[in-house]
Amino acid sequence: MNVSKQRILLLGPPASGKGTQADRLSRAFAIPHVSTGALLRSECARGTTLGLEADSWTSRGLLVPDDLAVRVITAWMTGNGPRFLLDGFPRTTGQAEHLDRALEAAGTPLDLVIFLDLSEVEIARRIMDRLTCARCGTTFGGSLHGLKTGDTCPACGGDLIRRNDDTAEALAERLRVYRESTIPVVTHYRDKAPGIFHSIDAGEGSDEIFEKLSALVAANQG
Ligand code: AMP
């Protein structure tokens, strides 16, 4: 029987397309998808204590503390079962080790770890051009789509906004955090699980990347 990969990590820098690709893969393969960034933004929009605490870090381009990130992802995984496509978690080796231990204890190992690789110049260009729908969370390149802040989301009709961490000040911090905290996560899985680790050039077109990812996720590949 053909069964696609069940437990997948999508790693990559800000604006590498993790969210967009995770969304497409989730629909194509019916694998539940979660973004810790989106979970935290939703907590913040609802004004929960956890959301407000998270915002004090995210708005400055910093990672939220590990225990907070682990708390939101654990709550999500408890409610969603042993199949998942994680986007934006783990972001530190502490989080990776926590996840590894939890999956080992549950006897549900990872099937695939994909790193979407992008140069810092391209990350900066995309972030400064990025618009996000306040309602559905879809992102758009403003110049590519001829859109600006306050326009209507082509996907759902919501308002297009600039995320409060998509600023020049927060960007420098996010790049530093990415280099110091998240690149070691990439190294962790490249070393620990080379058989399931794949690096993809995130500078290519969205459809080309989706084709490559789909081939990896489909049964008996990679
Ligand atoms: P993202 O939407 O993935 O770009 O995440 C937005 C922000 O949420 C990040 O810049 C962090 O402040 C926070 N965040 C998301 N995921 C994590 C995580 N796994 N660990 C710590 N902070 C996170």
The pLDDT score that the predictor gives to residue 222 is 41
| Cβ–Cβ < 8 Å for 33, 138 | no
The pLDDT score that the predictor gives to residue 2 is 54
**Which pTM value belongs to this model?**
0.88
The tens digit of pLDDT for each residue in 163-211 reads 988 999 889 999 999 999 999 999 999 999 999 999 999 999 999 999 9
The tens digit of pLDDT for each residue in 21-35 reads 999 999 999 999 999
The pLDDT score that the predictor gives to residue 134 is 92
Q: Which residue has the higher pLDDT, 41 or 189?
A: 189
Q: Of 58, 85, 176, which is best to mutate to test ligand 1, by the most ligand atoms within 8 angstroms of its C-beta?
A: 58
Residues taking part in catalysis: 18, 91, 130, 163, 174
Mean pLDDT of the chain: 93
**Ligand 1 contact via 14 beta carbon (within 6 Å):** yes
Domains of the chain: 7-119+167-218 (3.40.50.300)
pLDDT at 220 over 70: no
**Ligand 1 contact via 76 beta carbon (within 6 Å):** no
**Ligand 1 contact via 89 beta carbon (within 6 Å):** yes
The tens digit of pLDDT for each residue in 48-77 reads 999 999 999 998 889 999 999 999 999 999
